[in-house]
Structure 1
Amino acid sequence: MTTTAPSAPGTAPHPAPHRADPGTTARAAALAVALLVVVGVALALPVWPAGEDMGSTHYMGLLADNQPWNLLLFMAVPVVLAETLAVTELAVLFRPGVPRAVAALNRYAGLVAGVYFVGVVVYLLRHAVVPLTVGGGWRGWVDVVAVGAYLLGVVPLLGITLLESRVVGAGWDGRRRLAVHATLVGVFLVVAHVAMIAGMVDPAVAGWEPTHLMDDGATMPGMTH
C-alpha cells in the first residue's frame, strides 16, 4: 500500500493538471487547415475586371462589376448562409422539438459561413482595401462605413463557426451556447444591413467631391474617370 505525504498546514492540495480534450484539438486543427486553404485560394485569385465607374460607393461598385459572379460570390452566398442561420435559429430558439434536419442545417450553415467569409475578407483586403487606402481612393466616410461594415461581418460569422465546430464553448451548456450563437447571428445582421444602407448612399450626398486626374497631374472636378 502506498501513502501520500500530508499537505503542509494551510495549503490546499494541488489540483490535477488540465488536459486538452483530444476532440477539441482535432477540431481546431481541422478548422485551421480549412482556413489556411481558403486564405491561400483567396490570395492566389487575381483581381477581377471592374466595370464602368459610376461614382457610387465601392461596395455597390463591387456588386455591380463582373456580373453575375461578384453578386453571387460577395452578396448571394453570404446572405443565403446568414438568412439560413437566422431562420433556422428562430426554430431552434422557439421550438423545443426542432426537427433534426433543421438543427443540422443551422449547424452546417454556421460551419461554412465563417470559413467562406474569411476568404472573402482576405480577397477584398488584398484587392480593394489596401489599394484604396494606399492610393487615397476612398469616396468619403460613407464609402469607408459601407466597406468596413461589410468586412466586419467576418467577426460574428467566424465566431459562429468556432462555436459550431466546438473549438470555442465545448464545455458550455446548451443554453449558453444557444444564447451566444443567437447574439452572433444578430450582430451579423446588424453590420450587414449597415453595409447595405451605407453602400446605397451616393458618396456625393455625404460630402465626397469626385475628381479626375489629368495627364499633367491636375484634377478636374465632377468626374471619377
Structure 2
Amino acid sequence: MSSNILAEGVLEALSLLISMDSYVLDIIAVSLQVSGTALVLAALIGIPLGAFLGLTNFPGKALVTALLYTGMGFPPVVIGLFVFILLSSSGPMGSFGWLFTPYGMIMAQSIISFPLVAGFTMTAVMGVDKNLIQQLKSLGATKAQATLATLKEARLGVLVSIIAGFGAIISEVGAVMLVGGNIEGATRVLTTAIVLETRKGNFGIAIAFGIILLTIAFIVNFTMLRLQNKELRGNE
C-alpha cells in the first residue's frame, strides 16, 4: 500500500513538472523567492556579526554568544508566533501590512536563519590561525581588511553556515504557516502545500511536493558541495 502511494507520488511529481503545471510552478517560485531572500538577508547580517564575534573580545561576549547559540536551536514556530504578534494589527509593526504576505514570511525565515549563519561563521573565524591575524595587523592592515582576509581564509566554514541557514528555512513549515497563512497564489510554499494536500487526503500530490522540495534542497547542497570541493582542490 505504502509503496503504491510512493510510486503514485513519484509519477505525480514527474507529471506536474513535465506539464509545467501553473499551480506547482507558483508554489516553487514563492518558495524560492521567500527562502532565497531570507537567506540573503540573514547572510548580510549574520556573516559580519559572526566575524565580529570571532575576532573581537568585549565585555558581555559570553552572553551574546550564549544567546546566539540559543537562537540556533529556537523552535521556528515560536519565532513565527513572535513575528505574527509583531505584524498583527495591534502589534508594533502592524501598519506595515506584512501579515499574510511574503514579506512577513521573509522576516520570519530571516530570523530563523540568522543565528545559524552567524554562529557557524563565528566558529569558522575562530578556527583561523591567530598568527595570520597578528601578521596582517603587523603589516598595517585595517580592521576591515583583516576581517575580509580572515573571512576568505574561513570561507569553507562560511559556506557551511549558508548551507545550514538555507536548510533550516526551506524545510520550515510552522512559522510560514502562521505568518503567511498558506494563501494559494500568494503565500503557499512547498512545505505548507504538503501539509494542506495531506490533510485533504491527496497523498500523491503531497508526496510529489515532497519530492520537489527534496530535489531543490539536493541541488542547492550539491552545488555548495561542488564549490567546497573546488576550494579544497585549489588549496592543495
TM-score interval, smaller chain:
0.3 to 0.5
Question: TM-score, normalising length from structure 1?
Answer: 0.35
Could you say which structure has the larger radius of gyration? 1
Question: TM-score, normalising length from structure 2?
Answer: 0.34
Please identify which structure carries the higher helix content. Answer: 2
